[in-house]
Amino acid sequence: MQLNHYLNFQGETEAAFLFYKSVFGGEFSFIKRYNELPEAKVTTQEKDYILHVSLPINEFTVLMGSDTSEEFCAQNNTPFIKGNNHYISINLDAHEEAEAHRLFSALSVNGQIEMALDKTFWGALYGAFTDQFGVKWMVNCQLNVNE
């Protein structure tokens, strides 16, 4: 299991991550925009927003982030508030699927589920929530490609 920091922005992810890259060095290991999302429901302005970016900091840490779309905020009743844009991301391997379910269930008790733990188009089991203490969490378990 790996714990990483996940930052959300509203249209500033690319600028922020180019800045972080200039500070920490390295190269993006992954970058995808909303216009690459199947059936994307975003405004014209948001089509070039960052859906997901990963910047490895060292062998143990990856700084990740994305832009939050207006549609996503409306659907999940979670308005974007600058400063409230940080998640702890739990990343697990395919053989840890049961642990992903356990952690999601245990940590989200008395919290608010933002996105139920479910299989995604990027080949992972993913879910997000705010725990009972107001801490935002993501659980991402990369599944085998053959599933």
Q: Are 111 and 129 in contact (CB under 8 A)?
A: yes
Phi, psi (rounded to 5 degrees) for 44: -55, -40
Q: Are 129 and 107 in contact (CB under 8 A)?
A: yes
Write down the pLDDT at residue 131: 87
Query: pTM (2 decimals)?
Result: 0.70
pLDDT digits over 2-47, tens only? 888 898 888 889 999 998 999 889 999 999 998 887 776 777 888 8
pLDDT digits over 55-93, tens only? 998 888 899 999 887 766 666 667 777 766 788 899 999
pLDDT band at residue 96 under the 50/70/90 scheme? very high
Residue 4: which of 50, 49, 54 has the closest Cα?
54
Domains and their CATH numbers in the chain: 1-80 (3.30.720.100), 85-147 (3.10.180.10)
Q: Give the C-alpha separation, 6 to 129, whole Å.
A: 13
